[in-house]
Structure 1
């Protein structure tokens, strides 16, 4: 093999090895920031497809419905604790439902209430307790702010 081809081949190989190393480092860095989504039953029993259960200290995202009567607020701070169950229709709660407790220190969203769907980002602590860093309240696809509903109703009544 002539020296010129040998030099070109070594340059191409060096570039490919460098691109592979950069790709590996980027994927490793991104894997540290992935929040896997779980339902309360998946935290207890693991994912249906793989059976993988989250480990203590793992960052995750949990979604479910706030159990009625489970919201406990600390009167001296912004700390709040509540239980979540899986989302399902019809919305009926049973004593034997699989529950996960979520603790949060901060101001809850305006749409947060019992029997409402929420999504929380946080860290799994003590088996079935999630220490949330963020709580997002979900609303249905027909959601309209109260002011807009009133305005629409008043315009509708005026037209007749």
Structure 2
């Protein structure tokens, strides 16, 4: 659980940072506004996962699970990176490519959280995670809507 939560926290902080950095680089006011909203959403999700992590104590069986979970997740996720760190934003020259990059990241995040659900037994935690998944799906919908509204490049 500890590793899963740490990955989730890192993903949310990464997303928040990239969205905040992107705000400075785009000129479209609607996109700036949406990116700011998304950065705030990612910060909220990061706080939720941090608070959740702080509320758990690692039990013996969880310590054993901690050893195997990273490989299991890697096997399940395949080539997904769960990070925007590998993206060379200097090579992204169009708004559509930027939005496509964000859509891909958000979809990878959703996939990770859906896999994460299998490890959650606490009903309250599961409900919170499902809420975050819905919010991430909303991010994808908004990004796709923005992408569809762009003039051809």
Pick the structure with more helix per residue: 2
Pick the structure with more strand per residue: 1
Greater Rg by CA? 1
TM-score after normalising by structure 1: 0.22
Higher relative contact order (CA 8 A, sep 6+): 2
TM-score after normalising by structure 2: 0.23
